[in-house]
Structure 1
């Protein structure tokens, strides 16, 4: 997006992979909840895990860089100097699993279908295209109204490509378990909703020789095994039910790996500091509903969150308090606003409120240290907002109690929310917790049918158009968007526009930090915590490269040690299971 790519033309493979990794074996991966759809591109349904193994886009991300794409289905890309069009030349070798070639007609069909029937974020992205044409049998061009959205060529590069001859456009937006025809390294082999889905390696996969794929996609079979929750999954991992676990509980990492296989080395453990943005993991208040349509109420509830106690009691002190929507990156606002941030804010609001220029962050992490002081401050905010204590409970002027419900889908979060509820009771506030199954949870999120939810907004190190899907006024009114708080702020929209139009890295950083300040000042989300460490436990039968890419674990680069023992010379083209 900004600057040259890390890998030049003709590079042999990614630096972290083992290029001669052996082919064979089965990798079993834990998943949670259930699924009822093989289409991840629509609002309805809960898609199965692993569908990215089947479908492909024109280009692919690198985990070595913040936001650089390399050719996948597209062999080359040409961008107009003013970024008003982009042309993709398809790789002549690209094939769907039925042997048919990937054509410009498939690309245009995918764009039209996803623009009309895809998820809200896909509709948002692809409607920015004002025209598209097949230039010849290999090239397709997309045209834009102007070059202001400098990210659009890359967004089009990540568009999933569907087979026009094998996709029913009329029923596309209805969930179901009819596998879509793909072009990726795996195809769906079998499935049982609520239990598992299996993928089989495509022996003659067209893209196996691409530099971005060398040393990757090594298992003949990949199985996602579904569990009710992480505790059940961990017990099954100890018994060998799946091959690895990404441990998100530092307390269990410190004390729970004393089972025989971990002691004798059959289960190995790795931990390392990652360089990804930690995004925003927080309690989102639905501003569309009372009482969260009042900023003082949101601020008061945030003050009741006792991170220090929760971190000591539940996470062995290993978590870090989240203080930004772009946490763990240079995009996070900190300290007083810089001159560049001040100039951006002044361009869209005058005068600039002082709270946007001061050091940002959750109030509880910004100068009010003790729980007692935080609760006293929270009580004063509620008093000033008209919520008085009557017989031990907060009520408004009409006698309505201050009460709300947190909707959960992850049982591991219940104890954290119970700790918050206990502090809120001291303020006379009632917080209920409701746990629902994954299908009901997804439906209620899509319809914004909740008071509050715990949610994670992932962020890249090169944010752009997706921020409209997260925070814009239009997204607040669009079912299926990720603007779960219901933020409707012209200033937020304007700053997202500044991010999208940024012409260099410095401009992008300044605009993102300015947006961060505005989102934090609105108290739309109670920031919780994040972990700067990745913790991986895996059975010795799995081979993992010594080096990990800086921006995430690359599971496709792993291999089977059993296959390696059968084929010590390295990679060979074995038939899939």
Structure 2
């Protein structure tokens, strides 16, 4: 295991210095843009600080995925595409540095200019930018991409399209976006949309495409081969136009990126042990400690690397669908939190080695304090006092069990909470006043064996309350369709959160998204307080308001009792990989995140 050239405290210091920079610098034509202050890298930067500009080219990384796919178009709601294609097979006008909270540098665009209040953003496309077929990337391609994604693409793209008042060509290679609301982050978000080749899609049904169209890309990789549901292989384009762009120096070093698909976690792990897959992220600490002693590790062919980071926890656990009457009452959701025997589950799953997620933005300066709200946080929440749930202002911590399988005290508290909500045990069965039993399903995507095992323990605990719950395993396509349409009672959720929260918070928790099919607001929350905190952090022009609004939002989310948090699996990223697969000594502040593997990895014999 190699040493990494930063400490966690150094990461936090660097990251927070940037995120807490007071005020905003006035933007002008520039090589990059930052949400707060100026971008850290100068106009003449050679490469990203965590990329090795002299890294050798060659080699192959084989990654495993649990599930399947039936589409090569990752930009639409229909079908299931390998998620990596969004990032590996397409370029955007700007690229994000993951060594800063939120800064972008030019990729397809050579410069960005914004209005005095970021009410518009204008990009100039590099003259050398080309698609993989050799044709130039034009303003027409850019404008068409934004319109088709905004009107026919996945829901993740439609919010931005609704915030663009006008899109216009302002020169041979320049395009300007004017926004219809006061939202300073839009100038950055608008630079991050994938750019597609318009001519490839003429006469074709974009929103219903599947495996029939292999994308023409402006990215370093092109799809070389694939077999539906089994594998996708990307090949590095030897004629890639952007190899000398500073942002891309030291990236896209591997000749081949292959994604193999497996039915479940067990098959995936066995494929790694057998050498079919040569890099694997492990999220179970106990498994990392006890099951990575197979011959390839012992003789050094496989290396175990641990990658630190300074990110917030995010939320990982079991989300309750508040659109369902059973989970619309916060007291029922609190009862579920008491019945979920975390201490016992953590001991069974990880030997008690992993901490529990305590709040959405915990593990960072943006996380809520667990005592009473004070100062600016309290000021922001006070107008919503009547609609806030208990703990938002007073302080809140998750229930703690006694570590035993029976969890007697918490089960008793759960019983009382259910009674307060109108549910009592009648003849050994939890029922409401009308005699309707409390019954629900926990939806799990096929292959998520660890999550299914946790759910099984939870189901056993619920039996002590007279509640009948069952674990329902479905394949990837069914899972996506059902979650897109909120057709579940409870399911496993993952929402990673950054050190620079912004418009994605609307997609995750915004009231307007609650009834929008395909939205990320799986819990169906409609909270005026959350909406207001999101708007405050989006429009913040001071350090105090930005941090306070995020801390306040964290309180609203955590005390909403929407999710039963599980153990924090990502305190470190644990990657086992072939010894020839290397990464630079300097690590990004975000650690193992987008832009890390396979982007800056390389192959060295």
Interval containing the TM-score (normalised by the shorter chain): over 0.9
For 2:527 and 2:568, how far apart are their aligned partners in 1?
Answer: 27
1:166 maps to which of 200, 205, 220: 200
| 1:323 paired residue among 358, 374, 395 | 358
Is 1:534 aligned to 2:570, yes or no? no
Q: Which residue of 1 aligns with 2:456?
A: 418
1:356 matched residue in structure 2 = 392
Map Cα deviations across residues 290-344 of structure 1 (whole Å, 9 max, x no partner).
Answer: 2111221111011111111111221122211112122322211113213111111
1:340 aligns with 2:376: yes
Query: 1:67-146, aligned counterparts within 5 Å?
Result: 67-146=102-181
User: Is 1:156 matched with 2:193?
Assistant: no
SS in 2 for 1:484: coil
2:509 pairs, out of 465, 471, 479, with 471
Deviates more, 1:166-175 or 1:129-138: 166-175
Separation in structure 2 between the aligned mates of residue 421 and residue 285 of structure 1, nearest angstrom = 14
CA distance in 2, matches of 1:311, 1:175: 43
Indicate how the Cα distance of structure 1 residues 211 and 3 shifts in structure 2: closer, same or farther if over 3 A, else same: same
How far 1:142 moved relative to its partner? 0.5
Q: Which residue matches 1:502?
A: 540
Alpha-carbon shift at residue 550 of structure 1 (Å): 2.3
Mean Cα deviation higher: 127-136 or 346-355: 346-355
| C-alpha spacing 1:99/1:365, structure 2 compared with 1 (3 Å) | farther
Deviation at 1:204, TM superposition (A): 1.2
1:29 aligns with 2:63: yes
Point out the more displaced range, 162-171 or 405-414.
162-171
Give structure 1 stretches of 5+ with no counterpart: 563-577
1:248 counterpart residue number: 283
CA–CA distance in structure 1, aligned partners of residues 382 and 65 of structure 2: 46
1:237-386 equivalences under 5 Å are 237-334=272-369, 335-349=371-385, 355-364=391-400, 371-386=407-422
2:604 to 544, 561, 564: 561
> How does the TM-score come out when normalised to structure 1?
0.93
Aligned-partner Cα distance in 2 for 1:37–1:434: 25
Deviations 1:254-283 (A, max 9, x none): 111121111111111112432122211121
Asked if 2 retains the 8 angstrom alpha-carbon contact of 1:59 and 1:74, the reply is: yes
Deviation at 1:438, TM superposition (A): 0.4
CA distance in 1, matches of 2:50, 2:500: 22
- Spell out, residue by residue over 1:218-255, the C-alpha distance to the aligned partner (whole angstroms, 9 max, x if none): 11111111111222111111111111111111111111
User: Contact between 1:388 and 1:395, CA under 8 Å: does it hold in 2?
Assistant: yes
Secondary structure at the counterpart of residue 262 of structure 1: helix
1:62 paired with 2:97, answer yes
How far is the alpha carbon of 1:353 from its aligned partner?
Answer: 6.7
Deviation track 1:49-79 (CA, whole Å, cap 9, x = no partner) reads 4312211111111121121111111111011
Alignment gaps of 5+ in structure 2: 1-34
- The answer as to whether partners of 2:124 and 2:174 remain within 8 angstroms in 1 is yes
Cα distance change on mapping 1:431 and 1:559 into 2, 3 Å: same
Q: Deviations over 1:536-570 (max 9, x none)?
A: 111112223233222033122112224xxxxxxxx
Per-residue deviation at 1:492?
2.0
Answer whether contact 1:113 1:169 (CA < 8 A) is retained.
Answer: no
Q: 1:364-513 to 2 correspondence within 5 Å? A: 364=400, 371-409=407-445, 410-513=448-551
Give the SS at the match of 1:440.
Answer: helix
Q: 1:355 to 1:194 in 2, by over 3 A?
A: same
Q: Which runs of 4+ in 1 moved over 4 A?
A: 347-354
Give, in whole Å, the separation in 1 of the partners of 2:558 and 2:390: 13
Equivalent-residue separation in structure 1 for 2:531 and 2:227 (angstroms): 43
User: What is the CA–CA distance in structure 2 between the aligned matches of 1:30 and 1:552, rounded to whole Å?
Assistant: 20
Quick check: 535-544 or 425-434, which moved more? 535-544
Using the alignment, how far apart are the partners of 1:304 and 1:352 within structure 2? 23
Task: Report if the CA contact (8 A) 1:96-1:181 is conserved.
Answer: yes
- Residue deviations 1:420-442 (CA, integer Å, cap 9, x gap): 11111111111100011001100
For 1:351 and 1:389, how far apart are their aligned partners in 2? Answer: 30
SS in 1 for 2:144: helix
Contact 2:390 2:559 in 1 (8 A): no
Q: Report the CA distance shift for 1:254/1:193 in structure 2 as closer, same or farther (over 3 A).
A: same
C-alpha distance in structure 2 between counterparts of 1:354 and 1:492, whole Å:
15
Cα distance between partner residues in 1 of 2:387 and 2:159: 32
Distance in 2 (CA, whole Å) between partners of 1:352 and 1:379 is 23
In the comparison of the two structures, how many residue pairs are matched?
Answer: 559
